[in-house]
Amino acid sequence: MYWDSKIETMEREELERLQYRLLKTLVYRLYSFSAFYHRRMEEAKVHPDDVKTLSDVTKLPFMFKRDLRDNYPDKLFMATQEDLVRYHVSSGTTGKPTVVGYTANDLEEWTVSLARALTSCGLGTKDVIQVSYGYGLFTGGLGLHYGAERIGATVIPTSVGGTERQIELMQDLGATAICCTPSYLLHMGEAAEKMGVSIKKDTKLKVGILGAEPWTAEMRTRIQDWLGIKAYDIYGTSELSGPLFTECTEQNGIHIWGDFAYTEIVDPKTGEHVGDGEKGELTMTILKKEALPIVRYRIGDITGMEHEVCACGRTHPRITRITGRVDDMLIIRGINVFPSQIEHTLMGIPEVGQHFQIVVDRKHELDALLVRVEVKPEAFSDKITDLMKIKEMVAHRLGAALTVNVDVELAEPGSLPRFEGKAKRVIDRRKM
């Protein structure tokens, strides 16, 4: 089943001609109307006329996360307030988050990309899709919601949390598909068994659209065997609009719609292209994005690319499973967490010192984030309740800043390891 067979099965050469046309238009638009891109292209000594073939994309300068941060909140936007219809916000490394604006066309493109993707996973009007990604500023919830609504499915917008309630609704409302992080689905599986419910036997669930955090082929096998569903990988980041691309029923790589994005895999150090199938940093140009243009954006995710036509008949290139991050960003239950954010928050709390340690673990299949922090000697009290209050306050402040639940352990002054040079404050005990 295709959502748009004409585009999805388009001959490769034709697709590349289309990509070239879109790229050329994009470059002219940016050079003419975006002060930022104009300056960048001047600095790189490239003019839109220099882009004569699709491979000339390499003449264009790269764009990094810091470019978005430095231009907070909307200095890179190419749409007026009248044309903007939505903002999404993702957590940033320090104080300010990254802001993504959308025009009506941007939302439409995003929705269509997901409508194609969900159709390629075998979903359609008869399906009941439970969207268990967070709704709101995070792109996962509303993104999948719009995609699922577009294909005519019945959408249950459960958002995150309330696991027992989620399982009851899955069972009672006959959900056939669920969208969430793979670790949350494993957690649901465990919670269901505690409730005496087997997802495999007692529900109609047959498809999982899983992503927002890295997972492995082994995890897929476990989820599929245990829960009796087909588990598909979904990919996207908020800068690109949100979750956008999934595997098809072949489960052999994530289809990146070529009319939507031009994909490169580069060596993170040199920026040079790596060969087909080789691992490198995912770099994308979103060809039709209006409000926040994304050109050669170095996403930081490590993956490889496959150009062979897929057995499903779709001609668009595929990327393989994400195997890691170029930088030190942690992904906790689908939320990006930077150690610097934790540092930043703790700095603002007078009762605790600046020494801390982050321990990431997987408990009951869910990522658990523990922050151990030293209490300042002057804040120490022999009343347990006072210490509990400090602990709760720190957990609350961290939780609010990171938008994930944080466990806090108070440590004695001087007990946590000190570092000279680059601190190694993160202990990641999760087994992939």
Partner 1 sequence: MFWNERMETLKGKDLGDLQLRRLRWTVTQAGRVPFYARLLGDASVGTGDIRTLQDVAKLPFTSKQDLRGGYPFGFLAVPLREVRRIHTTSGTTGKPTVVGYTAKDLSNWAELIARNLTMVGLGEGDVFQNMVNYGLFTGGLGFHYGAELMGLTVVPSATGNTRRQIEMIEDFGVTAIHCTPSYAMHLAEVAGEMGATLETLKVGCFGAEPWSEATRGELERRLGVSAFDSYGISEMYGPGVAMECPEKDGLHIWHDSYLVEIVDPATGEALGPGEKGEMVITPLVKEAMPLLRYRTGDVTMLMDEEICSCGRGQKISRILGRSDDMLVVRGINVFPSQIEHVLFSLPEVGEQFMVYLDRIHQLDEMTIEVEMNRSTFSGELRDLHRVQEKIASALRETLGIRTDVKLVEPGKLPRFEGKAKRVVDRRGVLF
Partner 2 sequence: MEHERYFIKQISVFSENRPGRLAAIAKAMEEDGINIFAFSIAEADGFGVVRALVNHPDKAYRKLTGLGFVVSFTDVIGVKMRDEPGGLYEVARILGEAGINIEYSYAYSGKEAAVLILRVDNIRSAIEKILAHGGSLMEAAAFR
Q: Applying CB under 8 A, which residues contact partner 1?
A: 72-74, 81-82, 84-89, 99, 101, 104, 107, 125-126, 128, 135-137, 141-142, 145, 149, 152-159, 162-165, 168-169, 172-174, 400, 403
Is 384 a residue that touches partner 2 (CB under 8 A)? yes
SS3 390: helix
Of the two residues 106 and 259, which places its CB atom closer to partner 1 in the complex? 106
At residue 297, the 3 state secondary structure works out as strand
Size of the site for partner 2 (CB under 8 A): 4
Which CB atom, from 396 or from 424, has the smaller least distance to partner 2?
396
Choose among partner 1, partner 2, none what residue 86 binds, the Cβ cut-off being 5 to 8 Å by kind: partner 1
**CB closer to partner 2 out of 383 and 418:** 383
Query: Minimum Å distance from CB 241 to partner 1?
Result: 14
Q: Point out which span in 218-226, 299-307, 320-328, 379-387 binds partner 2 (CB under 8 A).
A: 379-387
* Closer to partner 2 by Cβ: residue 75 or 396: 396
Strands (E), 36-171: 84-90, 98-103, 128-131, 154-156
* 286 to 46, 264, 329: CA distances (angstroms): 19, 11, 23
Least spacing, CB of residue 95 vs partner 1, in Å: 9
The string of DSSP letters for 222-258 reads HHHHHHTSEEEEEEEEGGGTEEEEEB-TT-SSEE--T
Binder of partner 2 out of 45, 383, 422, 431 (CB under 8 A): 383
**Residues near 218 by beta carbon (within 8 Å), at least 6 away in sequence:** none
Q: Least distance to partner 1 from the beta carbon of 128, Å?
A: 7
Minimal distance, residue 388 CB to partner 2, in Å: 7
Q: Where are the alpha helices (DSSP H) in 121-263?
A: 139-150, 163-172, 182-194, 199-202, 217-227
Minimum distance, C-beta of residue 345 to partner 1, in the bound complex (Å):
12
CA angle 280, 260, 293 (to 5 degrees): 80
Q: Is 382 in the site for partner 2 (CB under 8 A)?
A: no
> 6 vs 126, which CB is nearer to partner 1?
126
Per residue in 202-225, is it b (16+ CB within 10 Å) or e — as a string?
ebebbbbbbbbbbbeeebbebbee
Decide whether 155 or 287 has the Cβ nearer to partner 1.
Answer: 155
The least CB distance from residue 393 to partner 2, in Å, is: 13
> Is residue 151 exposed (0-12), middle (13-18) or buried (19+ Cβ within 10 Å)?
buried
Give the nearest distance from C-beta 269 to partner 2 in angstroms. Answer: 45
Q: What are the C-alpha distances in Å from 147 to residues 86, 138, 140, 243, 314?
A: 16, 15, 11, 10, 19
Q: How much of the chain is in helix, strand and coil states, percent to nearest 5?
A: 35, 25, 40
Q: Which partner, partner 1, partner 2, none, binds residue 410 by CB below 5 to 8 Å per kind? A: none
Report the residue number, 327 or 382, with the smaller CB distance to partner 2: 382
* CA angle, 39 then 45 then 46, to 5°: 90
Alpha carbon of 291 to those of 37, 74, 105, 245, 352: distances in Å?
13, 9, 9, 20, 42
Distance between CA atoms of 128 and 111, rounded to whole angstroms? 18
Cβ closer to partner 1: 168 or 361?
168
- Output 6 or 383, the one with its CB closest to partner 2: 383
Q: How far is the CB of 248 from partner 2 (least distance, A)?
A: 52
345 binds, among partner 1, partner 2, none (CB under 5 to 8 A by kind): none
Which of the stretches 143-151, 204-212, 382-390, 397-405 binds partner 2 when contact is defined by CB under 8 A?
382-390
**Residue 388 touching partner 2 (CB under 8 A):** yes
383 binds, among partner 2, partner 1, none (CB under 5 to 8 A by kind): partner 2
Interaction partner, residue 370 (partner 1, partner 2, none; CB < 5-8 Å by kind): none
Query: Which letter, b or e, does each residue of 183-197 get, where b requires 16 or more Cβ atoms within 10 Å of its Cβ?
Result: bbbbbbbebbeeeeb
Of the pair 270, 385, the CB lying nearest partner 2 is at 385
Contacted entry of partner 1, partner 2, none for residue 99, CB cut-off 5 to 8 Å set by kind: partner 1
Task: Map residue 414 onto helix, strand or coil.
Answer: coil
Q: In degrees, to the nearest 5, what angle opens at C-alpha 231 toward C-alphas 120 and 313?
A: 25
Binding site for partner 2 (CB under 8 A): 383-385, 388
